[in-house]
Structure 1
Amino acid sequence: MIKLFSALILSFFISLTATAAEYSDGNGYTTIKTPVRTSDPSKIEVTEIFWYGCPHCYKLEPITAAWKKNAPSDVDFKFLPAVFGRNWLAHAKAFYVADLLGIEDKIRADLFNAIHVERRNLNSEDALASFFANYGVSEDEFHKQYNSFAVNSRLSQADAKIRAYGARGVPGLIVNGKYLVSAETANGNENIYKVVDFLIEKERQK
C-alpha cells in the first residue's frame, strides 16, 4: 500500500513537471523583447490581434468566445484590429465604430459570418454602413464615426502597439504585454488558449 501511494505521489509530481515544461519561449509562445505597458497593472491583460477578413480569425472566434465566457476575474481581455494590408483598414475602422457605439459584441459574430459564410463584400465604407444599419445605426451616424478623430486616433494607437509587440500576422494573442501566441507557435488554433492559460498562470506566480 505504501509503495502504491509513493508511486502515485511520484506520478503526480512527474505530471506537474511535464505540464510546467510543456511550453517555453519558442515552444508555444515567443517572448516580446521589450514588454509593452498594459492598461491596468492590477489585471493580467490578454489581447487578441485580429482582422474580420481573416479565415483563421473566423475559425478562432468561437474558441475565443467560449474562453471569454469563463475568463478568470483577474484577466482583462481586449481585441485589437490589425492593418497589415490596404483592405484591412475598413474593417479596423468598423471595429472602432462598433466599439464606440457599444455594439461590437452584437455585430462581431454576424460580421464574421457575413464575410466568411455569406461571402458578402464588406470592404468599403458604404457597404459597412449598410451592414451597421441592421443594428440601429443610421448611415449618417456610421459615416460620422467612421471618419471621426476618435476612430483615427485609436487606429494610430493600435498600429503603434502592434509594432511594439512585433506581431506580423493574425490571429495573435498577447499576454500581459510580454508574450505572443499564434497558431504557429501553439501548433494550431485549438491550442492557443492552452498556451494563454499557461502564461496567465506564469504571470500570476510573478
Structure 2
Amino acid sequence: MTKLFSAFILSFFVSLSAVAADYSDGNGYTTIKTPVRTSDPSKVEVTEIFWYGCPHCYSLEPITHAWAENTPSDVDFKFLPAVFGRNWLAHAKAFYVADLLGIEDKMRADIFNTIHVEHRNLNSEDALASFFVKYGVSEDEFRKQYNSFAVNSRLSQADAKIRAYGARGVPGLVVNGKYLVTAETANGNANIYKVVDFLIEKERQK
C-alpha cells in the first residue's frame, strides 16, 4: 500500500512538472512588465478583456461561461470592456450600464447573439436603448445611465488598466495583474483557460 501511494505521489509530481514545463513567459502567456494592483490581494484576480462585437470573444464566450461557473472561492473573476476603436465605445458603455443595473450576466449572451447570430447593429445609443427595454429598463433610465458620470468614470479606469496591462487586442485574460494570456500566446481559444488555470496555481504557490 505504501509503495502504491509513493508511486501515486511520484506520478502526480511528474505530471505536475510536465504541465509546468508546458508554459513559460512567451510560451502560453506574457509577463506584464509592471504588475497592476488587484482589488482584493487575498484572491487571485482573473480579468477578461473583451468587446461584444469581437467574433473571437463571441467564440470564447461559451468556454468563459463554463469556466466561470466553476470559479474557485479564492479566484475573483471580472470582465473589462476594451475600447480600441470608435464603434467599441457604445458596447463598453452598454456593459457598464448593465453592470450598474445588475443585469449584465442576464443579457450578456443575448447581446453576443444579437450581434453575431442575428447580425443586428447595436453600435448606437438609440439601438442599445431599445435593446435594454427587453430587460425592463426604460429608455429614459438607460440614457441617464449611459451618459452618467459613473459610466464615464469606469470607462476611464478601464482604459487606464488596459494600457497598464499592455493589451492590444481582444480577447485577453489577465491573471493577478501580472500575466497576459491571448489566443496567440496560448495557441488558440481552446487553450486560454488551460494557461489561466496554470497561472492561478502559480500564484497560489506564492
What TM-score bracket applies, with the shorter chain setting the length? over 0.9
| In 1: Cα distance, 2:13 partner to 2:95 partner | 46
Q: Does 1:157 align with 2:157?
A: yes
Q: Which residue of 2 aligns with 1:131?
A: 131
Distance 1:199 1:4, change over 3 A: closer
Using the size of structure 1 for normalisation, the TM-score is 0.95
What secondary structure, in the 3-state scheme, does the structure 2 residue paired with 1:127 have? helix
Q: CA deviation at 1:16?
A: 2.5
Matched, 1:141 2:141: yes
* 5+ long unaligned stretches in structure 1: none
Secondary structure at 2:135 match in 1: coil
Task: Name structure 2 gaps, 5 residues minimum.
Answer: none
- Report the Cα distance in structure 2 between the residues aligned to 1:71 and 1:84, rounded to whole angstroms: 28
Quick one: distance in 1 between partners of 2:13 and 2:100? 49
Displacement of 1:20 in angstroms is 1.4
> In 2 relative to 1, CA 133–8 (structure 1 residues): closer, same or farther, beyond 3 Å?
closer
Other-structure match for 1:65:
65
- Does the C-alpha gap of structure 1 residues 80 and 4 become closer, same or farther in structure 2, counting only changes over 3 Å? closer
Residue 186 of structure 1 corresponds to which residue in structure 2? 186
Distance 1:138 1:30, change over 3 A: same
**TM-score, normalised relative to structure 2:** 0.95
1:75 partnered with 2:103: no
* 3-state SS in 1 of match to 2:119: coil
Per-residue deviation, 1:14: 3.3
SS of the residue 2:201 aligns to:
helix
Provide Cα deviations, 1:83-112, integer angstroms capped at 9, x if missing partner. Answer: 000000000000000000000001100000
CA deviations over 1:140-187 (Å, ceiling 9, x no partner): 000000000000000000000000000000000000000000010000
The equivalent residue for 1:26 is 26
Question: Does residue 197 of the first structure (1) align with residue 188 of the second (2)?
Answer: no
Structure 1 residues 135 and 12: alpha-carbon distance in aligned structure 2, compared to 1, 3 A threshold: closer
Q: 1:42/1:9 Cα in 2 relative to 1: closer, same or farther (>3 Å)?
A: closer
Structure 1 pair 23/140, CA: closer, same or farther in 2 (3 Å)? Answer: same
Cα pair distance change 1:4/1:107, threshold 3 Å:
closer
Question: Secondary structure at 1:21's aligned position in 2?
Answer: helix
SS at match of 1:158: helix
